[in-house]
Structure 1
Amino acid sequence: MAAEPTGRLASIITPDASIDQAVLQRRASAAASGFEALGLGEGSTIAILMRNDIPFIEASIAAQKIGAFAVPINWHSTATEILYVLDDCRPDLLVVQADLLGTPGLTLPPDLTIIAAATPPATAAAFRLPEATCAVPDGVRDWDDFVASHTPRTGPDAPARGAIIYTSGTTGHPKGVKRVPMDADLLARNIRCFVDTYGLAPDVRTLLVTPLYHASPGGFARYAATRGELLVLVPRFDPEDFLALIEKHRINTITAVPTMFIKLLKLPQEVRDRYDLSSLRWVSHTAAACPVDVKKAMIDWWGPILHEVYGGTEVGIAMHCTSAEWLDHPGTVGRVVDGADVRILAEDDSLLPTGETGEIYVRNPNYADFTYINHPQARIETEKDGFISIGDVGWLDEDGFLFLGDRKRDMIIYGGTNIYPAEIESALVQHPAVADCAVIGLPDPEFGEIVAAWVQPAKGAHPTEAELGAFLAQTLARYKLPRRYTFVEALPREESGKLMKRKLRAAMVPG
């Protein structure tokens, strides 16, 4: 890990480099000048395809300065998935990490302007990347050279546009959530909601391993890098290294996902006892509901400093609860944040009383209104009287705490990452040996859920798990591949053709 810069202003350190706030702002301002020299400005779109690294943050801040939309892309994606997002949002520029240019099957549009940052050695080691893929290729502009060749931008920043975050819908195709610009009052409310929920303060010293392409980690990183004291940015999670970095850098604020807790709790007791974690004061977790036994164990270990956060790309931060509140209401994902409101609706859109399960709708004036790029009808369908659905179902107790039930949409949450069965099903049924298929999530003690596929073979065909896995790997990211296959003579369908997934789930998950 690089040495920590001296001085009170915010600093970022990675395993390979360090940078203080003054240098970060100077480089981001120079990049903003470079973007403007390329003809970019208010309303332009800048795609970012990178792992956790300093250039990701520099490019994001530079985009904000000129009023452009940043579009972070999931770097786990296959070529097919990357190209879908690029085709949908039509960016004016792509800022990419060098090795990701070599994503198998990826041929970028010839008219797309590209700037690449070299993949740092620690990232290459963490992901076992060939050294030859980590340098910026000949003929592609280098990020550091681009920044160095421009004078930092002066004058006021343009109105902030934020980021276009891609989230999937019921069809499984990703949709870009694009918000309208915020005025000063709304921006202040938005920042206050974020700061209060994640425990951010001027002296924040944070360790971030969750991917910057997600909305919350991206915002968390930008705040810590520009308003806090220290941001330690790591490309990949390792449980013991995580504890060592907390001790070494006196980390006081963390955002995590439940899968990280599960892996930390699997460390031997002597390893856990080896590290001084007394600097920690606020640990927020999001992305999926945390198993009750896991959260109790983490509170026993780290103390009552865990804060649960629930929401979604469309509605932002909607619910929050402290450790004390959670211990009084085990299993809850929280109560609405200040200014927000939640409703539980029945299938006929009627308001359900306390304790009854229905679809969760949220109204959150702490966030600007949004649309889905190229999918205006989908935006209309998510709303009921100003309340937005993010596809989950649940119920409220008498104190207003929300508990999640089964998801209305069949989304699978694997280690905090959303996976949509429809996308996998549409790919799997393309195999000539597959007549019909269904994909659902099954409970898993480590990852929350795993992908499971039911396959009805075509007449006379005998597909194998290995064969189908290799076929899907051509178009789907590795984390989306089924971990379990079940071959059946026929899938349970109604006369209308509707698949009865509840029967598959009931057969595998008793009770």
Structure 2
Amino acid sequence: MNDTPTRNRPTSDQHCYTFSEGLARSAAENPQQIALRFGERTTTFAEYDRHATQIANGLAAMGLKKGDRIAYLGKNSDICVELCVGASRAGVVFVPIIWRLAPAEVDFILKDCGAKILFVEDAFRNVPWDGDTVHMENEFAAWRDRQSDAPVASQPVADEAFLQLYTSGTTGKPKGVVLSNRNGTCLRPRLEAENIYWYCAAPGDTMIFAMPYGHIAGVGTAISGALGGQEIIIHAEFDPALLISDVQKYAVKWLFLVPAALGIMLAHPDAENADFSSVKGLTYGASPIPLDLLKEGVDRLRCDFAQLYGLTETYGTVISLSPEDHLPGREHVMRSAGKPLPGVELRILDENLNPLPPGIIGEVAIRSECVMIEYWNRPEETAKALIGDGWFRTGDAGIVDEEGYLYIQDRIKDMIISGGENVYPAEVESALYGHPDIADIAVIGVPDPKWGEAVKAVVVCKDGCQPDEASIIAYARQQIAGFKCPKTVDFISALPRNPSGKILRRELRAPYWEGLDRQVN
């Protein structure tokens, strides 16, 4: 059984607190404990708290006010984690941008969010931007340390926005998901009170953060230690050899990995003789996990496994498959996403948004205080997703069984998840339509043993043209991020369409998914 100690933390009937308050509490309780570790550099909770105040005061001195946006472009680091919580303390909204995006995509996000300042790593200085800039390697620490550490004049409140993350849009343009402090902290008191230990590690526990910062699974994991008092070991990006080494070097207790990363780690030569005995639990999410990989992970790591299902719009996890459901005899639920966390309600809706009974497929809907504020400057899309009485439409198709377990069946919005990255067909198709030899195109997700799903382009060529697969993939790489580009290309004479002209993606996908029991991998 779990031996998580009792904590001096807010209970479920206390007010919903901010990340600023959570960090201050952790610093007061354990000031000299290591909060952040990046390479050989460590930051205690007392230093973390002081730095957050200095950053907040520095942003105010630069003229930023509550509700203004700042953006960050770079890989994971301790200082970008400090920047997020410092912005939160100032009431400034933090916009981390996925570093793997193409310059045009970064440019769109910067303009859409209206960032006042861009904090950027030197490796990404070539993005289009003519506004104020702070260079992380050369300027940030000196700028931060010049600022006052006097208490911030205007403290944020729980319902104010503090984070804006961009998800790929179904129309090809990313949407800014606006999240509040409440969205990020509301579930924690109940989860701690009900001992959901795999999602709320004990104070002092070590956790590796290696997922991309621009995702909720990245930034959310990185700043969770401010609330829970954990030591976050930060990797600039996922590196299986470094992860295996640091697990042993620092006796790491908790890992979060997307299934593709777990498979890569287990296949790495260093994993064969590695000592994983310190690992108490591994949580996985962002895409479904193949059952064979899950069984291999459980067998080799011999720790608690828990699945996490959620979306950017729900501040991450809202459904979890507990460690108990990963034990022998529970194989029948291992393909499920699990059950709602305390404080979360789940429904399956029909096309008219009416609740469906167990066993009937429909759209997954969630109600919780963790649901986003809005899509930034997208009132119509916000209204479609937030349907009243606190309910949010996820766009995922699923079934709830008689025991209350959720099974994800397909993606209503046609989204592809490849290696934990969200890819929308419309965005890839838009990028490829400019290819001089392409007359028509559809993009689908197909099963892939390494990435879960791989992006495939199905192309109709213009008369007299015969482009090869490599040229089409190379063209895509000039337009969009590499992870969005097709891995393979098939050529056909015509795309299947319905009478109104809509591409029948399900018909295109069917041959590749034949014999599988669900349409996600």
Residue 207 and residue 179 in structure 1: after superposition, are their counterparts in 2 closer, same or farther (change >3 A)? closer
Residue 290 and residue 187 in structure 1: after superposition, are their counterparts in 2 closer, same or farther (change >3 A)? closer
How far apart in 2 are the matches of 1:40 and 1:191? 30
1:63 is the counterpart of 2:87: yes
Residue 229 and residue 190 in structure 1: after superposition, are their counterparts in 2 closer, same or farther (change >3 A)? closer
How far apart in 1 are the matches of 2:322 and 2:228? 24
Deviation, structure 1 residue 216: 2.9
Which residue is equivalent to 2:310? 311
Q: Deviations over 1:351-402 (max 9, x none)?
A: 222112111111113x255111111110111134432112111111111001
Q: Deviations over 1:192-243 (max 9, x none)?
A: 3676452322122111111122113312222325653422111232333322
Q: Deviations over 1:378-429 (max 9, x none)?
A: 0111134432112111111111001110211111101011011100101111
How far apart in 2 are the matches of 1:220 and 1:338? 19
- Gap regions ≥5 residues in structure 2: 1-29, 516-521
The TM-score with structure 2 as length reference comes to 0.86
The answer (yes or no) to whether the contact 1:32–1:152 under 8 Å persists in 2 is: no
How far apart in 1 are the matches of 2:124 and 2:302? 40
1:301 is the counterpart of 2:321: no
Q: Deviations over 1:460-483 (max 9, x none)?
A: 222222222222212200111101
1:236 is the counterpart of 2:237: yes
Residue 409 and residue 187 in structure 1: after superposition, are their counterparts in 2 closer, same or farther (change >3 A)? closer
- Gap regions ≥5 residues in structure 1: 1-5, 119-135, 137-141
What residue identity is the alignment partner of 2:300?
W
The answer (yes or no) to whether the contact 1:321–1:335 under 8 Å persists in 2 is: yes
Which residue is equivalent to 2:23? none
Which residue is equivalent to 1:113? 132
Which residue is equivalent to 1:487? 491
Give the alignment of 1:397-476 within 5 angstroms.
397-476=401-480
The TM-score with structure 1 as length reference comes to 0.87
Give the alignment of 1:174-185 within 5 angstroms.
174-179=174-179, 182=182
What residue identity is the alignment partner of 1:281?
K
Which residue is equivalent to 1:206? 207
Which residue is equivalent to 2:366? 362
Give the alignment of 1:84-163 within 5 angstroms.
84-102=108-126, 106-108=127-129, 110=130, 112-118=131-137, 136=138, 142-155=139-152, 157-159=155-157, 161-163=161-163
1:173 is the counterpart of 2:173: yes
Deviation, structure 1 residue 31: 2.0
Deviation, structure 1 residue 154: 1.8
Which residue is equivalent to 1:124? none
How far apart in 2 are the matches of 1:412 and 1:81? 18
The answer (yes or no) to whether the contact 2:187–2:342 under 8 Å persists in 1 is: no
How far apart in 2 are the matches of 1:164 and 1:474? 27
Which residue is equivalent to 1:381? 384
Which residue is equivalent to 2:43? 19
CA RMSD of aligned residues (A): 2.1
Residue 209 and residue 180 in structure 1: after superposition, are their counterparts in 2 closer, same or farther (change >3 A)? closer
Which residue is equivalent to 1:131? none
Which residue is equivalent to 1:122? none
Residue 489 and residue 55 in structure 1: after superposition, are their counterparts in 2 closer, same or farther (change >3 A)? same
Q: Pick which of 351-360 and 393-402 moved more.
A: 351-360
Residue 31 and residue 155 in structure 1: after superposition, are their counterparts in 2 closer, same or farther (change >3 A)? closer
Q: Deviations over 1:78-114 (max 9, x none)?
A: 1110011111110111111111113xxx321x2x211
Which residue is equivalent to 1:325? 325
How far apart in 1 are the matches of 2:227 and 2:184? 16
The answer (yes or no) to whether the contact 2:456–2:488 under 8 Å persists in 1 is: yes
How far apart in 2 are the matches of 1:326 and 1:420? 31
Q: How many residues align?
A: 473
Residue 320 and residue 508 in structure 1: after superposition, are their counterparts in 2 closer, same or farther (change >3 A)? closer
How far apart in 2 are the matches of 1:7 and 1:341? 37
How far apart in 2 are the matches of 1:303 and 1:198? 18
The answer (yes or no) to whether the contact 2:94–2:162 under 8 Å persists in 1 is: yes
